[in-house]
Chain A
Amino acid sequence: MAKPVILIHNDIASNFQLQKLERSKLYGCKRRIPVDEDGEPCVRASLTEDGEVIILSGMAAQGWFDDLGRQVEASEIGAQSSDGIALELVLSTLGVSQPLEGPVSPMEVLDLAVSSVYQLTADTISDELAASLTSGEVWRFRFNYRSDFLAETAYLLANDAGIFALIGQPATAPYLQLNAIPPVEAAEGEDTEDVDFEML
């Protein structure tokens, strides 16, 4: 079992267990399976550009390499901001008390580029926080499932079905004037994120 999410509201800690919420777990899913002429499922593989190797499942791996082609060990990996400043590792927040900030506006939640969603089950929850969530208030906290160089933003909210946490990075759109310059044409390949991979 993962460590709990511990949230502090008005100096009182509330503890939650978390469970990832995914579309396939709620609604099921569709898969498209290629079949051969006998109706048997085909095996998907990759053919290298030179046509020499067929890469089957289990034959490939990935790793970090520097610009000289040297493979880098995980312990050597760091990160830097766009202006070249080295970033500190942000440790996992699981099991570590995080203060709740807010309540926040729903527009702030709409400005979140959501990367994951968790259903939270309260081991303990303060009466005040429970009342606040029931009334529809939304709270912000810092969340990192694993240690990373980037801290994620989380929003705690509730509805009739339970308590949930939305995790992601803020992504704010600009206000447009009449003479606003359109952004540069999106790069080719952007479309791929809209493809339903369950269909492939």
Chain B
Amino acid sequence: MRTLHLADQDSRDAYIRYVAVRPSAPPERVAAGRPISLRRFIAAGEANTLKALQQQYGDKLGESLLNSDPEVDFELVGKPIERTSTVYLDNKQQVLRFAPDVVEVILDPSGKETDRREPIDRLPNIAEQLPIRFTKTRLNRNAAVRRFVFTRTLQLWHNDGLTYEYLFDIAKELHDSDEMVMVAGGERLKDPLIFQLNGLPWRAFLEGRINSIGYCLLLHLSNLELKALPT
């Protein structure tokens, strides 16, 4: 189990384990009673892609397809693709022998490029010395589900009796107030949560539940608001 460093509104902090909450696995696909699986295979050789054929045959491509099947490479087609390595080709179609430089392109909602710059790595911030902490932003649960799309949920787990009490108390306080509290990182509590190097930045809200069995403390993650699309 992975770990995050959490501090509550009283600055009490602890390293807490968490797991992703997931739906049950989708049903198994079968054909004629036998299990089946999705596999990749080679469908065309390098010289048989549409682009290559258009270059080679030009206007006579249709005729050639009918007469000589140039789109099929009998040596290659059907070969299963198992493990592969990513490679990059330069503008002369040669494999690069060294890691390429990378530029970061910023696109606006219509897909138009607005900026181009050197990329800056996003560092993880959830299990550092400075804990992620409660902000002053609280929303009741109904308002939260109508404002944000929560696409990932993590369940926080206690490590021992002390962290059980710590998490139970947080869950109880949130359950009783029917509220979710936003947690954030950084000195000024402005930073979204980043779980791994160059991971997605998430806005995160803690939600708590208790019953006669125990507690359920969930960290709901969102990177999308329920807003109207631009027209």
Contacts and interface: CB of A to CB of B under 8 A. Distances in A.
Given A78-B29, A195-B200, 13 more contacts: A28-B108, A35-B101, A55-B81, A62-B40, A66-B31, A68-B34, A72-B31, A80-B30, A117-B226, A175-B214, A175-B215, A176-B164, A182-B157
Given A33-B103, A72-B31, A175-B211, A64 B36 contact: yes
Contact of B27 (A42, A58, A79, A183): A79
Q: Which among B19, B45, B158, B228 has the greatest number of chain A C-beta atoms within 10 A?
A: B228
Interface residues of A, number: 97
Interface of A: 19, 21-38, 40-49, 53-68, 72, 76-82, 86-87, 106-107, 109-110, 113-114, 117, 119, 136, 138, 149-150, 155, 157-159, 161-162, 164, 166, 168-178, 180, 182-183, 185-186, 190-191, 194-196, 199
Interface residues on B, range: 35 or more
B146 A136 contact: yes
A34 B36 contact: no
Interface in B26-48: 26-32, 34-46
A63 B143 CA distance: 43
A31 B209 contact: no
A117 B100 contact: no
Interface string B82-119: 11111111110101100011111111110100100001
A180 B146 contact: no
6 contacts: A22-B224, A44-B86, A54-B46, A63-B39, A110-B207, A178-B161
Contacts of A82: 24-25, 27-28
B81 A194 contact: no
B149 interface: yes
B21 A173 contact: yes
Interface stretch (B4-12, B60-68, B130-138, B191-199): B191-199
B51 interface: yes
B216 A173 contact: yes
Interface of B: 1-2, 17, 19-32, 34-46, 49-51, 76, 79, 81-91, 93, 95-96, 100-109, 111, 114, 119, 122, 141-147, 149-153, 155, 157-158, 161, 164, 195-196, 198-201, 207, 209-211, 213-216, 218, 220, 223-230
A196 B200 contact: yes
B40 A60 contact: yes
A117 B149 contact: yes
A79 to B, nearest CB: 4
